[in-house]
Structures are given as structure tokens and as C-alpha cells.
Amino acid sequence: DAKTTQPNSMESNEEEPVHLPCNHSTISGTDYIHWYRQLPSQGPEYVIHGLTSNVNNRMASLAIAEDRKSSTLILHRATLRDAAVYYCILRDRDNFNKFYFGSGTKLNVKP
């Protein structure tokens, strides 16, 4: 059921930017792109979301391709606390809270 594809794992050095890619080639016009992350032993935590335009918040930036078939989550300066599994999720406007999580990307941050 997962409609997104992400690399299984990525590694980054502390204080450096991280670009986490996500492919969602079957996205429909009403799907919102959401990113969540799950720290060890915790429930998923909202990071950012967007529909068509690039978005910024205090945690990250979201770059959405013009055709919306892919997106990239950007952490501008990775910290050790950012080590987590990052999930890219499409939220259907009509089945809004029925998340398909996929396998996510496990981000490892090296000091």
C-alpha cells in the first residue's frame, strides 16, 4: 500500500546539511506530502508538509519537484538528535488520517 519510495539508510556528519529524497510517482492532485520522523522508542513526530510549493519551518525545508513526483527533505545542519527514521507519506484529502508509512530512511548522524 505504501506509495512512496525512500532509500533504506543515509549517513551524515554533524553540522552538515542532509538531503533526504522521496519518490512518489503515482501522487494524485489531492495528495499532500508529509514528512514524519521517529526517534528511538518514540512515536512518529511531524516534521513538515507541503502540496505544491517549497516549504520552510523551524525544523526543516521541503523541496517539491515541479511535477510533484518527488520531494526532498532538507535538514540544514544535522545534529545527533536528528538521528531517526524519516518517513515520507502521502495524505489523501479524502482519507486524511489513513497513513501509509513505507519503510522510511534511517538517518545516522556521525559526530
The smaller minimum CB distance to other proteins, of residues 76 and 93, is found at: 93
> Taking a C-beta distance cutoff of 8 angstroms, is the pair 71, 85 a contact?
no
The smaller minimum CB distance to other proteins, of residues 14 and 92, is found at: 92
Question: Contact residues for other proteins (CB under 8 A)?
Answer: 32, 34, 36, 41-46, 49-51, 87, 91, 93-104
The minimum distance between CB 106 and other proteins, in angstroms, equals: 12
Q: Which amino acid is at 13?
A: N
Non-local CB neighbours of 67 within 8 Å, separated by 6+ positions: none
The smaller minimum CB distance to other proteins, of residues 42 and 111, is found at: 42
The smaller minimum CB distance to other proteins, of residues 13 and 52, is found at: 52
| DSSP secondary structure letters along 27-39 | --TTPEEEEEEE-
The minimum distance between CB 84 and other proteins, in angstroms, equals: 13
The minimum distance between CB 96 and other proteins, in angstroms, equals: 5
Instruction: Count each helix (H run) and each strand (E run) in the chain, helices first.
Output: 0, 9
> Taking a C-beta distance cutoff of 8 angstroms, is the pair 87, 36 a contact?
yes
